[in-house]
């Protein structure tokens, strides 16, 4: 599955190039709980077609009622005009009606009939892998595009909305075993573009997952070809030092937001020692290397291990601080205890935090 923002903007571009009326809705403010974060977008066509999301579905239905189903009434459809703000969930009844969490309120900015040529330019830049800030003047809806080098939070004031759109998040997987297939599947439906490299003929010949790009050659060359950036992650899954180590070192020399390798604590410690002894690395240069990868959830099967790894990757992507010092040995010990005994040792078997 491709990046949701790119999908929304591409579809909106196509509608507008075909001469159809359409609007772009952006979540610009939230209060309390809200289903979607600020900056989330949705496009609505005059025929009721919709792509993207700003809520759990009820607000989308209201927009369709307000604009697409009113298209037959003069002046009530998607007409030209300056952007407009609309709030949902101001009262408890509205929060219940629109399916917002308790106390949740959100505000949308609606842009009517965005310029087709400018949308085409934006989509072209995103498809070329560029990061772009879109500035929308609230007085008349005129938009300008600005190339940027780092992601920025969406901002809005009395004059302008600035929302940054970036290329797809990307994932390079080293190894094409069963775990890779599960992890690649989860990454695809999470919006990542997934590439896989494995020079071993017996694994390469059996690979069949659709939607994944196959990268030929040795893994370290694949990393160089992949050219990881700040929206990329590299995960080694072969357990083979000849395949994993050089690829990981190559990845650590990039801006990839996540670099990690599968393996036990003992295997990961051995990997670090090899890199220090044979590749002139230091503990500091290996600080970004993650391993063992994944959140400890007691997983034993490939699909559950993939869940734990994908959860960690998404947490890092979303800026969530994870307890890297978690005592897995204690967590395993607590998991093996009867519930009453485990409760006396710590409040949380997953985190291994002693009771005060």
> Is a pLDDT exceeding 90 seen at residue 300?
no
pLDDT 10s digits, 282-298 = 999 999 999 999 998 88
To 10 degrees, what angle do helices 241-252 and 219-226 make?
A: 30
pLDDT 10s digits, 270-281 = 999 999 999 999
Give the Cβ contact number of residue 346 at 10 Å: 18
* CB-CB contact of 262 with 292 (8 Å): yes
SS3 69: coil
When the pLDDT of each residue in the chain is averaged and rounded to a whole number, the result is: 85
For tokens 């072969």, the residue is 238
> Given pLDDT bands bounded at 50, 70 and 90, which one contains residue 207?
confident
pLDDT 10s digits, 94-103 = 666 666 655 5
Name every residue whose Cβ is closer than 8 Å to that of residue 74 and which is 6 or more positions away in sequence.
none
Long-range contacts of 136-144 (CB under 8 A, 24+ apart): 136/83, 136/109, 136/111, 136/160, 136/161, 136/162, 136/163, 138/82, 138/83, 138/109, 139/82, 140/82, 141/81, 141/82, 141/83, 141/111, 141/112, 141/114, 143/114, 143/115, 143/118
Name every residue whose Cβ is closer than 8 Å to that of residue 36 and which is 6 or more positions away in sequence.
27, 53, 54, 55, 106
For tokens 């310029």, the residue is 115
- Nearest CA to 75 out of 107, 119, 112 is that of 112
The structure's pTM equals 0.68
Structural domains in the chain, sorted by start:
4-165 (no CATH), 169-317 (3.40.50.720)
For tokens 């190559």, the residue is 250
Distance CA 182, CA 295 (A): 16
């Amino acid at each position: 599955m491709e990046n949701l923002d790119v999908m929304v903007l591409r579809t909106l571009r196509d509608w507008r190039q075909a001469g159809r009326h359409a609007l772009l809705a952006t979540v610009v403010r939230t209060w309390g709980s809200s289903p979607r974060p600020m900056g989330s977008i949705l496009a609505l066509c005059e025929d009721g077609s919709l792509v993207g999301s700003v809520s759990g579905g009820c607000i989308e239905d209201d927009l369709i009622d307000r604009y697409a189903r009113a298209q037959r009434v003069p002046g009530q459809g998607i007409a030209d005009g300056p952007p407009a703000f609309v709030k949902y969930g101001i009262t408890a009844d509205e929060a219940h009606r629109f399916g917002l969490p308790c106390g949740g309120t959100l505000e949308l900015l609606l842009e009517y009939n965005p310029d087709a040529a400018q949308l085409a330019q934006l989509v072209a830049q995103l498809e070329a892998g560029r990061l772009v800030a879109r500035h929308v003047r609230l007085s008349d809806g005129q938009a300008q595009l600005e190339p940027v080098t780092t992601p920025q939070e969406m901002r809005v004031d009395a004059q302008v909305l600035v929302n940054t759109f970036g290329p797809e998040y990307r994932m390079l997987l080293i190894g094409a075993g069963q775990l890779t297939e599960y992890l690649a599947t989860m990454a695809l439906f999470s919006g990542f573009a997934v590439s896989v490299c494995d020079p071993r003929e017996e694994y390469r010949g059996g690979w069949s997952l659709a939607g994944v790009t196959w990268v030929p050659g040795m893994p370290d060359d694949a990393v160089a070809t992949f050219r990881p950036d700040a929206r990329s992650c590299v995960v080694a899954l072969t357990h083979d030092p000849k395949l994993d180590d050089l690829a990981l070192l190559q990845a650590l020399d990039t801006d990839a937001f996540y670099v990690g390798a599968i393996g036990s604590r003992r295997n990961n410690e051995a990997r670090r020692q090899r890199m220090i002894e044979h590749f002139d690395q230091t503990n500091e240069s290996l600080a970004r290397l993650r391993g063992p990868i994944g959140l400890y959830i007691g997983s034993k099967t490939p699909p559950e291990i993939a869940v734990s790894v994908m959860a960690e990757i998404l947490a890092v992507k979303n800026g969530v601080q994870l307890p890297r010092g978690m005592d897995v040995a204690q967590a395993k010990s607590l998991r093996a205890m009867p519930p009453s005994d485990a409760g006396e040792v710590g409040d949380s078997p997953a985190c291994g935090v002693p009771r005060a």
